[in-house]
Amino acid sequence: MKKMGLSLTVLTLALTLGACGKKEDTPVKNEAVNEVLKVGTDATFNPFEFKGKDGKYTGFDVELIQSLAKEMGYKDVDFVETEFKSFFQ
């Protein structure tokens, strides 16, 4: 019973502190020197990321990255074909 009470107390405290903060009405725009975001990809994982018949990268991950880059203020995304194992070297 004590564990349950402690868990509820910790959960309530976490939710209360999580709600504290500054609200910003507008998203932060990137004032970066580079207007193109370079992203490494191993485009062999259909439907997440793959090359379409037209040779362009497509899929869920690609669209997500493009959307995030736009929100961050980048004008374009440059996908660089890279083997998955080389990401961790």
Task: Please give the pLDDT value at position 67.
Answer: 92
| C-alpha closest to that of 36 among 5, 65, 6, 4 | 65
* Between 68 and 16, residue with greater pLDDT: 68
Q: CA-CA distance, 52 to 17, in Å (whole number)?
A: 45
Domains, the chain, ordered by start: 23-88 (3.40.190.10)
- Kindly report, residue by residue over 19-61, the tens digit of the pLDDT: 666 666 555 555 555 688 888 888 887 877 888 888 888 888 8
Q: Which residues share a beta bridge with 77?
A: 37
What DSSP designation does 88 have? Answer: G
What DSSP designation does 48 have? Answer: T
Average of pLDDT values for 7-11?
69
- Kindly report, residue by residue over 63-85, the tens digit of the pLDDT: 998 999 988 888 888 888 887 66
Residue 18 predicted with pLDDT over 80 = no
Residue with tokens 């374009």: 76
